[in-house]
Amino acid sequence: MLFTHLATHLAGISRGLARMGAAVPSRCAVCHAWPARPVCDACRMQFAPPLPRCATCARLLHHGVAQCGDCLRHPPPLDACVAAVSYAFPWADLLAQFKFHAEPGWAGALAQLMARAPGAQAALAQADLVLPVPLSPERLRQRGYNQALLLARALGHPQVHARMLLRVRDTEAQSHLARAERLRNLRGAFVPDPLRAAQLAGKRVLLVDDVMTTGATLHAAAAPLRDAGALQVCALVLARTP
């Protein structure tokens, strides 16, 4: 009960910081211009230009190509996937601050980048439910907040559900694993909340996460949603590895 109350309190603080950061001028974290937003318009235009990406895995593609060869040969469990930026300078550093250095106030500025990505507004508009990719209880206790949940809330959709999708076991860190190992590592890690699984039937679900590397985590999260009867499962992420 105490942990739940603390998590709710921290989420309220982070929403307040996000609103404050959007309204009050500050120094751009990238070019250090003053006054500016947390990321100024010039840096956003330079480092977050709209780029052609695969419709179902958000991998960078040549102009005029809608879907990558891997997704054509092996259709993923996602109907669509949108990524705002590539996981590179300066976004990798800003994400590390947000995710690992107890700076939840970054959620608002980073969610704005996500909302501006090509296809993001359509994905949000058609979604019946927005589900952040959950952390394990152990990881949540260590970090104090789920960065995917903060991003999902900052996107402003009225149907964000923090506990409709559950992570039922902790998993080995994914960063050093190949894709096949990641898939094995995540097998059975996600399940819909048994008391709310029926609410997924016939719904269009949007998964939200901060970083997509191989897609293993999002695919492992999407599969049980489809098994529960979700009509459509799409994903919106902040950053996609090249």
pLDDT for the residue numbered 180: 62
pLDDT at site 116: 96
Distances (CA, A) of 195 to 127, 179, 240: 21, 32, 33
Coil/strand/helix, residue 81: strand
**Cα 43 to chain centroid, rounded:** 21
CA atoms of 80 and 119, how far apart (whole Å): 9
3-state secondary structure of 233: strand
d(CA 173, CA 200): 29
The Cα–Cα gap between 103 and 232 comes to 33
Q: What is the model's pLDDT at position 19? A: 46
This prediction's pTM: 0.85
- From the first residue on, what is the mean pLDDT of each consecutive set of 10 residues in the chain (242 residues)? 48 47 68 88 95 97 95 96 97 94 93 97 98 92 95 98 90 58 73 96 98 94 97 98 89
pLDDT of residue 176: 58
